[in-house]
Amino acid sequence: MPICPARLAPAATPRSWFIALGLCLNASVSMTACVDGEPGTDEAASSDTHSTDTDSTDSDTDTDSTDSDSDSTDTDSDSTDTGGPDLEEAVWVLELPSDEGGSVRDLDVAPNTDLLVAQVDAGEEGGLDGWVHRVSASGELLWSRDVVDIPQRVCVNEAGQTYFLGFPYEGPGSEVFPRLTKLDVDGETLWSEAIAPGLAEFDEIGGIECAPGQDEVYVSGRSVDQRGFWARYDGQGAELALVADVHGGAPDTPPTQLTSIALVGEDGQGGLLATSSALVEPNSAGYALALDDQGLVATQTSLGSGFTMGPWISTRGDRVAAAILSEGESDDYTLAVSLCDAQGAPLWTRSDLPGIPSLTARPLIFDGAGALFATIPGYAGVVVAKYELGEGGGGPEPELFHLTAPGDAASPSTLGAGSGLVFVGGRFEQQPWLAAFSL
């Protein structure tokens, strides 16, 4: 598989991947040819129209919404738009509507097991388009919303409302900054607020986490002075907390970015964790961080060095896992997956998935039955590793599921789990797609 030039940036270079989207930094590569770091052609694939509402009942609690900033039209549809990669093991496959080619950037599973999906498309004249979709656990596209900002990370609260972290974008050279947007259960915009105005860098968006049991949301990223930051907002967009100097590694070794953030425990009271990337010459390094009551680093644990992407952290109740994409001695890359304690320190680590540097939002997820799943873009096609969690210093031998053939133009960027299924989202032959598996 050819590699987009942006993927080959040296590990020692600060990870300013332009707009955290995976657009090639090489100006000779067109927008449509590389929307998610994936190779392709300039010819856009044909697709269905974007904005759709199906006749379905939404089981989440509805809320009053204000006028929306989104462009959406309602059309009746009784069928699911299927397509995408040939995944023989899939329960269902859904190719999401896209006019110019795009990619699923992230997804989260709502309490009623619907999927909320963030999608980015290549727009006209070098622009970008952002979309949020709601998809049922059976693969039915419930609605699509053309949102103003370009969504990068998404989470769903217990009322079924969607938060996404993104940025406005009007074309190359336009002024952009990170914003947090909240949608109601029907996809209408309730509000959109700038994240840490004057502090946050737009191109270093990190993670997002909805707090269980209350309508609050956590976000993370990197500040303009090259330090990691995190912030907490209530359901009306008011800033409840902002900590602007969080670092992993030596205190005097910027830049540091908080690449993901997570709460521990069923009620979220088990602690706040984050992962950070720090530039340590001649290589980068990644850390898992346990934050104290003031939101600063209480303990940190190295997850690896020489990496180019990540690290990431994922929690489900009291379970914690982390992953990092590391470069080996022969310029190959491997996703190292760790089961961690409540402070993010690895209990065991396994490196079973070869990969390539590419933007990935959520490469590991716990299901509800005690298993951990991981994936990363790679030359072998879409491969998902399943770790049956148990005791053992070296960790369990994973079961590897090869979901597409080697060489297929398929790239996974996010995972989800619910209703006994594992959901995979990404990009296939320039088109955004989702698939569900019983693994």
DSSP code at position 8: G
Query: Quick check: helix, strand or coil at residue 131?
Result: strand
Q: Are 145 and 131 in contact (CB under 8 A)?
A: yes
DSSP code at position 53: B
Q: Distance between CA atoms of 21 and 93, rounded to whole angstroms?
A: 24
pLDDT at 369: 85
pLDDT at 283: 65
Q: Are 384 and 437 in contact (CB under 8 A)?
A: yes
CB atoms under 10 Å from CB of 267, counted, come to 12
Query: Quick check: helix, strand or coil at residue 124?
Result: helix
pLDDT at 343: 92
Q: Distance between CA atoms of 121 and 200, rounded to whole angstroms?
A: 24
pLDDT at 203: 55
**Token duo for residue 365:** 């997820």
β partners of residue 222: 228
pLDDT at 249: 66
Q: Which CATH number fits domain 5-437: 2.130.10.10, 3.40.50.300, 3.40.190.10, 2.60.40.290?
A: 2.130.10.10
Q: Are 234 and 211 in contact (CB under 8 A)?
A: no
β partners of residue 3: none
pLDDT at 85: 55
Q: Are 132 and 116 in contact (CB under 8 A)?
A: yes
pLDDT at 387: 94
pLDDT at 396: 86
Q: What is the pTM of this model?
A: 0.81
pLDDT at 267: 85
Question: ∠ at Cα 338 (209, 289), nearest 5°?
Answer: 50
pLDDT at 187: 96
| C-alpha dist (Å) from residue 283 to 13, 22, 309 | 8, 21, 12
Q: Where are the domains of the chain?
A: 5-437
Q: Distance between CA atoms of 92 and 433, rounded to whole angstroms?
A: 11
Conformational region of residue 71, where left means phi above 0, alpha means psi within -120 to 50, and beta covers everything else:
beta
Q: pLDDT tens digits for the chain (439 residues)? A: 232 322 223 232 333 333 334 333 222 222 222 333 333 333 333 333 344 454 443 434 343 433 434 444 343 333 333 444 556 778 999 999 988 889 999 999 999 999 999 999 987 777 789 999 999 999 999 999 999 899 999 999 999 999 999 988 776 666 677 899 999 999 999 999 988 777 766 557 889 999 998 999 999 988 777 778 899 999 999 999 999 888 766 665 556 888 999 999 988 888 999 998 887 666 678 899 999 988 988 999 989 877 668 899 999 999 999 999 988 776 788 999 999 999 999 999 999 898 888 878 899 999 988 899 999 988 888 899 999 986 555 678 899 998 887 767 778 899 999 989 999 999 888 889 999 999 8
